[in-house]
Amino acid sequence: MALAETTRETPLGVGEAQRGGEFGRWVSRHALILLLGVFMMIFPAIANDFFLRQIAGWTMILGMIALSLMFLGGYGGMVSLAQMTVAGVAGYMIAVLGVSSLPKVSFFWPWWVAAPLAIVIAVAFGTLAGALSARTEGIYTIMITLALATSFFYLALQNWPIFNGFNGFTTIPAPHFFGVKWGDPVPLYYMILFFAALSYVVVLYVSRSPFGLALQGVRDNPRRMEAIGYNVTAHRIAAYAFAAVIAAIGGILLVWQNNQISPFSVDVAVVINLLVIAVVGGLGHPIGPFIGAFIYVMLRTFALDALVAVGLDGRRFQTLIGLGFLVIVLFSPDGVVGLWRRWVTRVGATNGRSGR
Amino acid sequence: MSSIAERMAAAGTGNAIELRGVSRMFGALRALTDITLSVRPGERRAVLGSNGAGKTTLLNCVTGDFPPTSGTVRFFGEDVTLLPPHERIRRGLRRTYQISLLFPRLTVRDNVYLACRGVSRSRFSLIRARASDPIMQSVADLISLVHLEDVTDRLVGELAHGQQRQLEIALALAGAPRFILFDEPAAGLSPNERRDLVAILTALPAHIGYIIIEHDMDVALRVVESVTMMHNGRIFKEGSPQEIEADPEVQQLYLGGGHG
């Protein structure tokens, strides 16, 4: 794995290991993320249902959908605002094809038919979004994908036969199989953890695969990519398809967690929030979106109480989120991941000096 | 350098590059006017001319970076006028750029790896390459060919200018090139690096032909056997390096014009 070893793919790593075998080095380089993994595994033992669902579950789901944005933006240089909408399409399809409180609208197919179909439809939508925007760059990509996101919001809002308009769908159950009620807090938590960890590892792995490297080549210099034999447009569209799979799974988990979906799950404010999450966390590494999602969820959950505690109007919590966004982007354009990398580099340099 | 006949035999018959009546407009500006040019397989040719003569535009028409406004481009007999650049590259055409067009946020190794992968299969593979993959050996060979072994794992954006120029060459040599277009490969190189460049060019396998645009006559005339002179978007003289050097019109227009 010569290629893999050339990377700085571990912003959470603790620097190079000194001694020990291959495995020891690997553990040492990934120490922080492994610790985080262990912590997440035992989290249900120490946390109540509120923390499992409203903090951890929500963080991981938003992180997955933002990861889809990070994959396109960070590796491909394509900032797509359609990723929340891809998740929304998958979520809506689960409600339409599967079970909900609306027997006249929903098909009531079992989850093992509805979920794969929802993913396929959402990926088709995400790929179409890619096909429409792959020939554009920068601000134009943002505009086209924002237009798609807005269109879908209004479609869902105004279409009653399929999307049940303003009301959307409620009482959508999480599935029940292997004798486990996956809607219960702890099973749901582990299901979300499984898919979040899986998508994180897969994105990290794919970033060093021919496909992922080529995507970074397209980001750095699309013209040169053509001149060494790559079909840049095809590569971009394929990246949208790949990213859509992650967003679609995130969208289904979101619906299984909340048991409802409405046009306001995919409105422009949510779309922008997702961009904020990805940028604040950092587009430089797949852990970034999860960090961003955690900051967002914490602010969203506790900012109100914090504001009231210091005698301010609790409804100003959005201002607090906005200010936090401003501060992070001002001081670190590459988000928390960028801050962390600079800190590790500085500490590493200091240690290197004192060691001699 | 082996003889032309030998190289022609190695590369088969027909022309490697054939342009017929190629013109290129940029708005109202006529950058190329009715260019007709044939280069045999294995032939090594310099395209000379003052700034703005249309040399780089000519290369862009051949690669498809900026396709011609009119006329046809053939590559080893096949009409490639309407093909996108990547399709021409997959047929064995390569090029370098006058101003380095590299991947600054990737390492030297990854840059060369992308070039090798671009003309092989599994460009879309999600599986990482193993160290034992033959492609990794090609990558290492190309890196050592252009003397960049010491900076293999450095980000290309951090390299010195000369090193980036060397990397430009390595990217163009990846895969199995049949014909290469070099756009001022010696620009900004030190005398030592120029010697290396001449050595690399003359050591290329006999079947690989190229067109080189170069302002440094010492480099250009040493590595080619034929020369095409351009002026104001037209070809106005073709011949051997000796004929071109001796031509009074050329001396007045180009060599005497302060560009030599």
Q: What token pair was written down for B50? A: 């003052």
Averaged over A83-105, what is the pLDDT? Answer: 91
Which residue shows structure tokens 């170069």? B214
Contact residues on chain B for A226, CB-CB shorter than 8 A = 64-65, 84-86, 89
Residues of B in contact with A230 (CB under 8 A): 86, 114, 118, 123
Backbone CA torsion sign across A3, A9, A10, A11: positive
For residue A78, give the nearest of A285, A240, A205, A291 by alpha carbon: A240
Please say whether the beta carbons of B46 and B58 come within 8 A. no
List the end-to-end C-alpha distance of chain A, in Å, as a whole number: 31
The whole-angstrom separation of Cα A144 and Cα A93 is 23
> CB of A274 within 8 A of CB of A55?
no
Q: Do A228 and B114 touch (CB under 8 A)?
A: yes
Closest CA–CA distance from residue A34 to any residue of chain B (Å): 22
- Whether the per-residue pLDDT at A264 is higher than 60: the answer is yes
Q: In A, which residues are within 8 Å of B104 by CB distance? A: 220-221
Instruction: Provide CB contacts within 8 A for A48, sequence distance 6+.
Output: none
- DSSP H helices in chain B: 4-11, 55-63, 85-90, 108-118, 134-145, 161-173, 191-202, 217-220, 241-246, 248-253
Query: Per residue in A300-326, pLDDT tens?
Result: 888 888 888 888 877 777 787 788 778
SS3 state of residue A261:
strand
Q: For residue A215, what is the nearest residue in chain B, using CA coordinates?
A: B124
Q: Strands B179-183 and B209-213, how do they pair? A: parallel
List domains and CATH numbers for chain B. 4-92+177-257 (3.40.50.300), 104-175 (no CATH)
Decide: B56 and B96 in contact? Cβ < 8 Å: no
- Listed residue (A140, A154, A156, A28) closest to A89, CA to CA: A156
B107 chain-A contacts, CB cut-off 8 A = 6
Q: Which of B105, B107, B128 to mutate to test the interface with A (most CBs of A within 10 A)?
A: B128
Cβ distance B117 to A231 under 8 Å?
Answer: no
- Does the beta-carbon distance from A226 to B97 stay under 8 Å? no
Cross-strand partners of B35: B22
pLDDT band of residue A61 (cuts 50, 70, 90) is: very high
Residue A312: per-residue pLDDT = 80
Here the ipTM equals: 0.85
**Residue B123 token pair:** 């460009």
Residue A189 and residue A202: Cα distance in Å, rounded? 20
Do the chains contact at A226 and B65, CB–CB below 8 Å? yes
Say which residue, B248 or A291, is predicted with more confidence.
Answer: A291
Q: What is the pLDDT of residues A30-42, one digit of tens each?
A: 888 899 998 988 8
> Measured between CB atoms, which of B97, B118, B174 is closest to A230?
B118
Least confident of A234-243, A344-353, B153-162: A344-353
Note the pLDDT of residue A352. 63
Using an 8 Å Cβ cutoff, are A145 and A133 in contact?
A: yes
Nearest CA in chain A to B128: A209
Q: Could you report how far apart the first and last alpha carbons of chain B are, in Å?
A: 24
Which of helix, strand or coil describes residue A198?
A: helix
Question: Following CA atoms A100, A101, A105, A109 in sequence, which dihedral angle do they give, to the nearest 10 degrees?
Answer: 30
- Measured distance CA(B215)–CA(A182) in Å, rounded: 71
Indicate which of A203, A220, A228, A242 best probes the interface with B, i.e. most B CBs within 10 Å of its own CB: A228
Q: What is the pLDDT of residues B55-96, one digit of tens each?
A: 999 999 999 999 999 999 999 999 999 999 999 999 999 999
Interface of B with A (CB under 8 A): 63-65, 84-86, 89-90, 94-95, 97, 101-107, 109-110, 113-115, 117-119, 122-131, 136, 152-153, 171, 174-175
Residues of B in contact with A225 (CB under 8 A): 86, 114, 118
Number of Cβ pairs < 8 A linking chain A and chain B = 118
Other beta carbons within 10 Å of A329: 14
Which of A220, A226, A228 lies closest to B171 in CB terms? A228
CA atoms within 13 A on the CB side of A176: 5
Cα separation, A44 vs B259, in Å, equals: 75
Are A240 and A127 a contacting pair, CB within 8 Å? yes
Residue B86 and residue A210: Cβ atoms within 8 Å?
no
Please state whether beta strands B226-231 and B234-239 pair in parallel, antiparallel, or not at all (unpaired): antiparallel
Give the model's pLDDT for residue A265.
Answer: 92
pLDDT for the residue numbered A240: 97
Segments making up each domain of chain A, as ranges: 46-266
Mapping DSSP to helix (H, G, I), strand (E, B) and coil, where does residue B96 land? Answer: coil
- For residue A142, CA distances in Å to A75, A81, A130, A285 come to 16, 6, 11, 21
Gap between the Cα atoms of A313 and B256, Å rounded: 79
Nearest neighbour of A208 by CB, restricted to B63, B94, B128? B128
What dihedral angle (degrees, nearest 10) is formed by the CA atoms of A31, A36, A37, A40? 160
User: In this predicted model, what pLDDT tens digit does every residue of A133-190 receive, in sequence order?
Assistant: 998 888 999 999 999 999 999 999 998 888 888 988 888 888 888 888 888 888 999 9
Q: Using CB atoms, which residue from A213, A216, A226 is nearest to B84?
A: A226
Partners of B18 in the β-ladder: B38, B74
A177-225 pLDDT, tens per residue? 888 888 888 899 999 999 999 999 999 999 999 999 999 999 999 999 9
Q: Where are the alpha helices (DSSP H) in chain A?
A: 2-5, 22-29, 31-46, 49-50, 58-70, 83-97, 111-133, 139-158, 185-206, 210-220, 222-227, 232-258, 268-281, 288-309, 317-331, 335-355
- Nearest-CA distance from A285 to chain B in Å? 14
**Which range scores top for mean pLDDT: A31-40, A81-90, A330-339, B197-206?**
A81-90
Single-letter residue type at A316 = R
- Who among B63, B119, B125 is closest to A211 (CB)? B125
Is A6's CB within 8 Å of B109's CB? yes
What pLDDT is recorded for position B258? 46
Instruction: Return the pLDDT at B248.
Output: 84
Q: What average pLDDT does chain B have?
A: 88
* Residue A3 and residue B113 in contact, taking contact as beta carbons nearer than 8 Å: yes
Q: What is the pLDDT of residues B13-48, one digit of tens each?
A: 589 999 999 999 998 888 999 999 999 999 999 999
